[in-house]
Every structure is written in C-alpha cells, then in structure tokens.
Amino acid sequence: MENEKIIVLDFGGQYNQLIARRVRECNVYCEIASYRTDLEEIKAQHPKGIIFTGGPNSVYDPASPTYTKEIFELGIPILGICYGAQLMMHLLGGRVGRAPVREYGKIEVQVDTNTALFTDVSPSTICWMSHNDYIEEIAPGFTVTAHSAHCPAAAMQDVSRGLYAVQFHPEVLHTPEGKKMLSNFVYQVCGCHGDWKMDTFVESTIASLRAKVGNGRVLCALSGGVDSSVAAVLLSKAVGNQLTCVFVDTGLMRKNEGDEVEAVFGPEGPYQLHFIRVNAQERFFSKLAGVTDPETKRKIIGEEFIRVFEEEAKKIGAVDFLVQGTIYPDVVESGLGGESTVIKSHHNVGGLPDYVDFKEIIEPLRNLFKDEVRQAGLELGIPHYLVYRQPFPGPGLGIRIIGEVTPDKVQMVQEADAVFREEVASAGLDTQINQYFAALTNMHSVGVMGDERTYDYAIALRAVTTTDFMTAESAELPWELLGKVANRIVNEVPHVNRVLYDCTGKPPATIEFE
C-alpha cells in the first residue's frame, strides 16, 4: 500500500530538508522535488498536498525559478512558504516588490485563528522571518489571514482553491507554533490521516525486501554505525542467513568497539545472519606507518578498507545484492531530489568497491532522515547505545591522532577517550552534548610526575553542541568534570602528562582534528 505523500517543491531554500522532516514528524510521508520537476511527474505521485519552499531569488526577476500556473488547478492543496508564497501571489495576479522594511529574525505576527492553518495557534505568535521582498498586493480570490507590524500580508488563503501562503518560516524551531501550522496544513487542509509510522515502515520494508531478494544472496559492509546497523538488521529480518555482513576491524575504532559490534551481530547475538569479522589492524597500521598528512591518511584508510572488503567478498563469490546504508540527506545532498548545492561524494568509507561481484544495490534507508533511522533501529530492537551512538568518522581514530598513527598512539587515545566518555556519562551530560571525544595531539611537553621529569604527550578533549553538525559550539563543560577527566587520564594513560580542552567553535575549527 502506498503512503500518503506531501511533495516539497524546492526553490532553493535553505530549509527544504527541515520542511520535509517536520511534515514527517506529523506522521505524513514527504519528499523533496526540484522546481524543475515536470508537472506530469508530480501528478503521477498523487500527492495529498504540495509545499513551495523559500528561496534566495526575487520572483519579479525574470531569471528566478518559477513553475507552471497549471499546478494551482490540480485541486491539490498548496502551501507557499516565503519565496513560495511570493511566487504563488506573483503567478496568480498579485504584486511582489522590495519591502520598505526588511524583516529578519523572530517577529510577532497576528494570525486569524478562525482559519484552518491557524487553528489552535495563539492569536499573536512569534514567527521567524527572513525576507527582503514582500507581498504588496495579494492575488484575486485570496484573503489576508495574518500580518505583522511591517508585513501587511504575512499569510493569506483562498480556501476554495486550497491555496495557502505564509511569508514566515513555519519549519524552523524559531517559529514555536510552526509545527502546529504544518500539522494543520497536512491534516485539516490536505485531509491526511497520518500513515507514516516507523513500526509500519519497518514491517513493510521487511516484506518488500523479502520479495525483492527472493532466494538471492546479500552482502553488507557493516561499520557498527547506526545506518549500516539498521540496514543490516532489516535485511536479517527479511532474509536471515542469505545475508552476509563483513565487519572490518581497522584497529582505529574506539575502545572495545569491535567486540561490541561482534556481540550484537556475531553468532552470540540475537540476529540471524552470517557475520565475518576481519581483524585487519596490522594491515592498516603498516600502511599508515610514517604517514603524517591528514588527506593521505584518510585516503589510505578508505582504500585499505575497500581492499579488505573486496578480498572477503571474493571469498564469498558472486552475490546478488550489495547493501548500502545511504539515507535521505545523502540523496538530497548528492543533488537528487532537491535544489541543494552541497554536493557530497559518496558518503560511505572511500566509495564503492570496484571488484565486488553483485547485480544490484539495495538501499533500504534511502528515504529516511537520521531521526527516523534511529526510530526504526529501536523498533527493530537494536540496543539503545548503538542506535544513539555518536557520529564517528569513517577513518576513525586515524584522524584523531595528529601526525603518524601507531598502535601505541591508538591505545593512548582509546584509553583517554574511554575515560572522557565514562565521566561525561556519569555527570549525566551525554545526552546534552552532541559529540565529545579525546584526540591525541602530536605535541610533547615537559611535565613532572613522582618528582621525575617527563616528556610526554598531550591529549586534547573536544565536546560540542550542535543541531546539524554544520556549525557547532564548544560545550561549556563544568570545570569540576574537566579536572576529574584530566586527572584520571594523566594517571591512567601511560605517556600522557597534559590534557587540553578545545574551546573553538566550528567555524573556524572543524569538529574533528584532521
């Protein structure tokens, strides 16, 4: 059975993914499509509603993105947001121009609560605005349903045609009642029932994977990260022992991580699948010996990973399917689906193996946002600590050791990191900080321990808060916690005599060190 669907028509706005996420949080499935998508293609998807996004352009500039007016005649409800609102007015005979006062930030807006969109919204509500243009004159057939001090037409509707428009951004958290408005749109205006739920997703995905794979054999590179774990469990539930998971222990994982992955996915764990752990630590260390350049290290690790994986795949022989843990933001950011300009190369470690003999790729998480992958993981019974695992870079500790990587240094950083994680968790801060870890600086410095001069390494601690990992703030950890961690590390980890805390944000620094 097909899910109800809302289509977000992307005009190049910054928050297109956010709109889709918010709609899905209302339990309605939502996909992003570029404004270049053909009307016929939109119609063929039978959306229950369409949302036009914001965008950087001005509608009165002839070179700006636009859409055929026929879309307003389909009888499908449409909500225009910011640029989308302006475009709707412009196309339907209203007038858009440069605003005498541009609005940016949180603005108080008066809304008509006797309308579908603003049902149960406070009559005066804070909305986030970001526009230079404004709607000077609404299009015929519309009525104004909200205004602010400097924006006479902050929202408008033509109920008979199912057309709605808002100048502000309901999708961002700075609009506290925005989610309510989006929910009103999908439920009250579009008449959705809310059939997008992770338990049914899990069930129907397992059924369709089973149908697709048939008697075929499936191969999966398991990293222990959330995405590949959830993808593997879906396939295991669908086809059991027809699935082989190869887990490459690079030696660059966090303390005990390899064993943790094995405990869940190995023969002692709860899932039916063939689990192959390749202990390739030595191979990685020997390739990395003497290498100090960060990019070279990344490349070596990525390539070696592929080589190891290929060797295992050759032993298995031809398979029918290769599983990839691609998720929806990867799809959108690689230029498919929306207007996103962030072009990411393939997100999986080092790209696709060249010599694995398979017929087809399966990407069971291709339509999910990260939060949804996590929910699906919990539905599937994957342990909480695995599902809520912090982001961990593909090259692992290889890029948390500045300069040359050696087994001794890996051990130092593993131990220091384990201490830090333990103390952050026991201070109850693990859910408030988005990412935190220890890195080994390549710096030696003089210290004194037991009356003896030392000349040892410095560990750097990093902890950040962020919502999207694109920008981040250094977390203000309590001094007491930092002191305790520093003390334990210096005492428990040989050859470390100094602990530093990184208080730079991103930008200008990155979250990882290399």
**Which one of the listed residues 82, 151, 220, 245 is annotated catalytic?**
82
Asked whether 146 and 166 are in contact (CB, 8 A), the reply is: yes
Residue 154 CB, shortest distance to ligand GLN, in Å, is 12
Contact residues for 232 (Cβ-Cβ < 8 A; gap 6+): 220, 222, 243, 245, 265, 271, 273, 323
- Residue choice 6, 47, 52, 54 for contact with ligand GLN (CB under 6 A): 54
The Cα 508–Cα 134 span in angstroms is 34
- Do strands 243-249 and 5-10 pair parallel, antiparallel, or not at all (unpaired)? unpaired
Which pair of structure tokens corresponds to residue 118?
A: 């603003």
Which of 166/368 has CB closer to ligand GLN?
166
Residue 132 binds to ligand GLN (criterion: CB under 6 A) = yes
DSSP designation for 54: -
The Cα 409–Cα 513 span in angstroms is 15
Residue 225 binds to ligand GLN (criterion: CB under 6 A) = no
Question: Is cis: bond before 62, omega within 30 of 0?
Answer: no
Asked whether 43 and 197 are in contact (CB, 8 A), the reply is: no
Q: What are the backbone angles phi and psi of residue 146, rounded to the nearest 5°?
A: -160, 150
Which of 83/328 has CB closer to ligand GLN?
83
Size of the site for ligand GLN (CB under 6 A): 12
- Residue choice 16, 115, 125, 130 for contact with ligand GLN (CB under 6 A): 130
Pairs from 444-449 (Cβ < 8 Å, separation ≥ 24):
445/497, 445/498, 447/497, 447/498, 449/490, 449/497
Residue 18 CB, shortest distance to ligand GLN, in Å, is 12
- Residue choice 131, 274, 298, 374 for contact with ligand GLN (CB under 6 A): 131
Which of 153/288 has CB closer to ligand GLN?
153
Stretch that binds ligand GLN, among 125-133, 142-150, 220-228, 376-384 (CB under 6 A): 125-133
Which of 55/329 has CB closer to ligand GLN?
55
Residue 494 binds to ligand GLN (criterion: CB under 6 A) = no
Query: Residue written as tokens 């100048």?
Result: 167
Q: What are the backbone angles phi and psi of residue 137, rounded to the nearest 5°?
A: -145, 125
Residue 8 CB, shortest distance to ligand GLN, in Å, is 13
Residue 88 CB, shortest distance to ligand GLN, in Å, is 12
Stretch that binds ligand GLN, among 55-63, 173-181, 329-337, 429-437 (CB under 6 A): 55-63
Which of 128/513 has CB closer to ligand GLN?
128
Please, which of residues 349-368 interact with ligand GLN by CB under 6 A?
none
DSSP designation for 115: S
Strand ranges for 330-451 from DSSP E: 360-362, 435-449
- Residue choice 10, 133, 227, 339 for contact with ligand GLN (CB under 6 A): 133
Contact residues for 289 (Cβ-Cβ < 8 A; gap 6+): 404, 406
Query: Residue written as tokens 């190891």?
Result: 308
Residue 184 binds to ligand GLN (criterion: CB under 6 A) = no
Residue 295 CB, shortest distance to ligand GLN, in Å, is 36
Residue 103 binds to ligand GLN (criterion: CB under 6 A) = no
The Cα 123–Cα 76 span in angstroms is 27
- Residue choice 5, 13, 217, 226 for contact with ligand GLN (CB under 6 A): 13
The Cα 321–Cα 324 span in angstroms is 10
The amino acid occupying position 214 is G
Q: Which residue is nearest to ligand GLN (CB)?
A: 54
Task: Assess whether 169 carries a catalytic annotation.
Answer: yes
Residue 58 binds to ligand GLN (criterion: CB under 6 A) = yes
The binding track of 63-102 with respect to ligand GLN, each residue x by CB under 6 A or -, is: -------------------xx-------------------
By annotation, the residues acting in catalysis are 82, 169, 171
* Interacting residue ranges for ligand GLN, rule: CB under 6 A: 13, 54-58, 82-83, 130-133
